[in-house]
Structure 1
Amino acid sequence: MSLKIDNARYILTVDRERRIIQNGSIIIDNGRIIRLGKAAGLADARADRVIDGRHLVVTPGFLNGHMHISYAHAVRGIFPDNLASPLAHVFKLQMAMTEEEEYLTTLLGLVELVKNGTVCFVDPGSTKFPDACLQAYQDAGLRVILGECVSDREAPFPLPRYTTDEAVKRTSAFIAKWHGRLDGRIRAWAMPFSPETCSAGLMTALKRVADERRTSLTLHHGSGPQALKDYQARHGKTPTEYLESIGVLGSNVVLAHSLGLVDAEIDCLVRTGATVAMCPVTAAKGGRGVAEHGRMPELLAKGVKVALGCDSPNNSNHLDIVRAMNMAALQYKDARQDTRLIPAESALEMATFTGAQALGIADEIGSIETGKKADLVLFDTQRPEWQTLFNPVNNLVYNADGRSVHTVIIDGHVIVDAYKQTFVDEPKLYAKVQAVGEQLMARTGTSFPRSRWNII
């Protein structure tokens, strides 16, 4: 079916010229953008369906570069602010989930993602039962990058642990089974958990697998004073230099979080072409010390491609990439008392074109250009937070959030239509996931006070 978005108030193309088309139209056919320009020049173009864009701002679909989707919706918000680290509880809960429970929580995650404008996300190996979740991926229509989390060293929390050979075989089999399914909407990557939980032999073997399969690899990564001290003692290098020295870094490698990097580590990324997925809301909520450890401005200045992520519903506690853009644009201005840092345009780029570059898929999505896949988000400007409208990028990043997402299009299909999706009954799903959460906490013996205030 062909589709026309007619006379949009603004189209934020995020193309290479960064054009903003006022009063513009987009023509879509067979899942791709076939024409784009001023509405007057496309007035005669016909389509099977026409969306009146007079009150809409159109952006490329958003990418979420690091998003543990499978477990946290069932227990969102249970961890108190004074809990130093929830990871031990996180993995205990995740490991205890059944196939049906993971399907339901994944489905809810997909609802939240797509209704907030995300069209593609990276789940860094947290889904235990992808076969059970396949129907959810198919129904929701999103692009999913997934893999099997593996490790071969002892960890301070329960992780899937195998021998090195078994971890490599499992990863190879997973990629062979999943990569390219659902007409290419599923991509499979190698997903070692972290350098601290994976041997050099495992990480280098998985990098070879990713190279041979022409896919990518992602892992959790960070630096900082203690990590620098530890790695210097063991390897005589910084954490990122160590990864470079063993041949793990490359243009198909995405390092998640990447706080605390020193200049020499940023130079490693520049040399190797490795990219980064940063989770600004998680960093702020977790008190990670962005003023001291955040290097997003330096990464971008050196040309490192950075994607934004929401991490999980129990870290950032939301799956709204617009709010992640807002945090990215605000936190460095305040931390360094310099309002020039991370302008609104840079924040939008990380959620769209630059983010797509970081994930290696910018040839298909991330910008609004003729020939690219039709992955679009349409924002409703007939809302108070969009008033008044002179600079649409500023309005989007500083005023709005995902609640003003009116329509979402993926592969030319309307997935969210006038705020509504049709692939699941939301109230019934909410009730089921609430029950899953109650059962999961009881089964694992997980208990935290429901509130610091009395609930009567």
Structure 2
Amino acid sequence: MTQAKAATPCDTIITAGWVITVDARRRIFRDGAVAITGSTITAVGKAADIDARFTAGSRIDRPGAVVMPGMVNGHRHLLCCAKGAMPEGGGTLEALRRFIYPSFSSLEPEDMAVYARHATAEMIRNGTTLFEEPGCDHIDAVLPAIAESGMRARIGLWTWDQAGSGGTAGLPAWLKLDTGAAIRRLEEGIEIVRKFGHERIRPAVTIEGVTTCSDELTVAAAKLAEESETLAVQHKSTSQREVELELKLFGERPVRHCATIGALNPYTLLNHVTSLDGEDVAAIADTGATVSQNPSTALKLAKGTTAFGKWPELIAAGVPMGLGTDAENCSNHQDICRAMQLAALLPRDARQDPNAVSAETAVELGTLGGARALRFDDVTGSLEEGKEADVVVFDTDDYDWRPLHNPIANLAYGVTGHSVDTVLIGGRIVLSGKKSTVFDEEQLRADVERTDRKILAKIGIDPLPAWPVL
């Protein structure tokens, strides 16, 4: 008589009504399960099969839940400015020079620590487990906060030489460097992150872009990222005004100009790119560069994403692309679920084509696509054996999930991050019952409110409503 094989021990088993893997076959398991040992996924499959193969030290059994990979925020500033305080009526370049840059330049190390802790807590609350910070100051205060949160991150030092196509008018003296010093600062950023030595935090080469950086600095950043196998991050082709400035100065559009000077390669991440033409799309695809699409920012700052965006073309060209939410006053939220909805729906209306971007593609952009864009897909972005156990459990007992026939449709068209119940990063529970297991959230809110008011006083802005306050 054949003896039954003993079950293999593991640390945790998660069971759910639906398990969305985003693996190579894009399998979805009905009544599925994920087995975790240490920080790693041991197996994914039908719950009955997983239970037969493994015995767990702890279990998360949620028969009505939807489980998916941790989401990825491809563009999330920790250099912050007070949410809801930005004066109305400015486009991208006006908002940057009138409010955002002055806010950034007013921050002290203790302010950055507060903002980093609050931002990571908010992202986790909405199901994000990996993010890209496109350049911060006071990084020594930021890195411990990220490590404490448990999140994965790409991060570098904010760098510019203020020698780009937009000129210096309206730019603060803050961190003003000549090109050589700016390049050295980029190198220093890589060294600082690597010396910090945290397995979940990887360095980036972060320049501001968006008309503030010289060609020499832009090329040096791309080369440094390639040599160091990191990621060169910049804001690029963020509005028609930026396109017009660079056409006038260089005779080329911003993305095409980057290609001409040799500043695009597989280690380049372009943020925004809301104003493209067919040659721009080809330049990005041909060089292997990646993209973070930030749709709510594009809408709030009137970037023209529906008029000039090429999102279906970028997807068709196979460009690795994720989604981002930018800073507080650009999206006013950090919810990748909401970004997925806009990524699915805006191109359909712009092209009057209901097939422009599918629901499945939108969900992929928020998970594996973002991990690929940030060069983190070796460890995260999908639920697969051998990858890190970055897992999100959605509570489906709410109107945005019910009735539940196709969870991909629910995710792409109606769900928000507020229905995220549990989050694991590397097998560690960092959110349970919609509450942080890491931070005192009430204290975080008090800290960020106090910090906001201090910074607003420094830059002379009192963000009252336009309507009379009695």
TM-score by length of 1: 0.95
Q: How far did residue 399 of structure 1 move?
A: 2.0
Aligned partner (choices 42, 54, 61) of residue 50 of structure 2: 42
**How far apart, CA to CA, are the structure 2 residues paired with 1:423 and 1:380?**
20
SS in structure 1 opposite 2:59? strand
| Structure 2 letter corresponding to 1:34 | T
Residue 96 of structure 2 corresponds to residue 96 of structure 1: no
2:39 paired residue among 31, 51, 70: 31
Q: CA deviation at 1:170?
A: 1.4
AA in 1 matched with 2:171: F
Contact 2:11 2:38 in 1 (8 A): no
In structure 2, C-alpha distance between the alignment counterparts of 1:224 and 1:317, rounded to whole Å: 19
The match for 1:419 is 434
How far the C-alpha of 1:411 sits from its partner, in A, is 0.9
Change in Cα spacing, 1:82 to 1:366, as seen in structure 2 (3 Å) is: same
State how 1:223-372 maps to structure 2 within 5 Å: 226-372=241-387
Q: Is contact 1:4-1:25 (8 Å) kept?
A: no
Is the 8 Å Cα contact of residues 429 and 437 (structure 2) preserved in structure 1?
A: no
Equivalent residue number for residue 157 of structure 1: 171
Q: Which of 211, 214, 234 is the matching residue for 1:199? A: 214
Q: 2:202 aligns with which of 154, 166, 187?
A: 187
Other-structure match for 1:61: 70
Distance of aligned partners of 1:281 and 1:347 in 2 relative to their CA distance in 1, 3 Å threshold: same
**Aligned counterpart, 2:402:** 387
Structure 1 residue 379 displacement after superposition: 0.4
Partner of 2:453: 438
- Preserved CA contact (<8 Å) 2:210 2:237: no
Relative to structure 1, the CA distance from residue 63 to residue 182 in structure 2 (aligned partners, 3 Å threshold; closer, same or farther) is farther
How many Å separate the matches in 2 of 1:190 and 1:265? 22
Name the CA distance, whole Å, in 2 between partners of 1:315 and 1:48.
Answer: 43
Q: Distance in 2 between matches of 1:97 and 1:61?
A: 30
SS of structure 1 residue aligned to 2:18: strand
The range that moved more, 318-327 or 146-155, is: 146-155
Which position in structure 1 is the counterpart of 2:121?
111
Instruction: Give the match's secondary structure for 1:255.
Output: strand
Q: 1:324 to 1:131 in 2, by over 3 A?
A: same
Residues 5-16 of structure 1 aligned to structure 2 (within 5 Å):
5-16=13-24
What is the CA distance between 1:228 and its match in structure 2? 4.5
Amino acid at match of 2:154: I
Retained in 1: the 8 A contact 2:275–2:304?
Answer: no
Deviation at 1:257, TM superposition (A): 0.2
Flag structure 1 segments of 5+ consecutive residues without an equivalent. Answer: none
Query: What displacement does 1:37 show?
Result: 0.9
Amino acid at match of 1:255: L
> Cα–Cα, structure 1 residues 441 and 235, in superposed 2: closer, same or farther, change >3 Å?
closer
| CA drift at 1:373 | 0.9
Aligned to 2:6: none
Could you tell me whether the CA contact under 8 Å between 1:138 and 1:182 is conserved in 2?
no
Distance in 2, matches of 1:229 and 1:42, equals 57
Gaps of 5+ in 2: 1-8
1:236 Cα offset (Å): 3.6
Q: Displacement of 1:413 after TM fit?
A: 0.7
Q: Aligned to 2:400, what secondary structure does the other structure show?
A: helix
Q: Secondary structure at the match of 2:256?
A: helix
Using the TM superposition, name which of 199-208 and 243-252 deviates more: 199-208
What's the counterpart of residue 429 of structure 1? 444
What is the CA–CA distance in structure 1 between the aligned matches of 2:35 and 2:442, rounded to whole Å?
35
2:84 equivalent among 77, 90, 94: 77
Q: Does 1:147 align with 2:162?
A: no
Question: Which amino acid in the other structure matches residue 303 of structure 1?
Answer: G
Q: Deviations over 1:223-246 (max 9, x none)?
A: 665545543443343322211121
In structure 1, distance between residues paired with 2:448 and 2:456: 12
Identity %: 34
Per-residue deviation, 1:6: 3.9
Write the distance in 2 (CA, Å) between the matches of 1:363 and 1:13.
15
- Contact 2:160/2:213 (8 A) holds in 1: yes
Letter in 2 for 1:25: A
Instruction: Give yes or no for contact 1:266–1:299 (8 Å, CA) kept in 2.
Output: yes
Q: C-alpha distance in 2, partners of 1:191/1:236?
A: 25
Q: Which of 133, 137, 156 is the equivalent residue of 1:123? A: 133
What is the one-letter code of the residue matched to 1:147?
G
The Cα RMSD (Å) is: 1.8
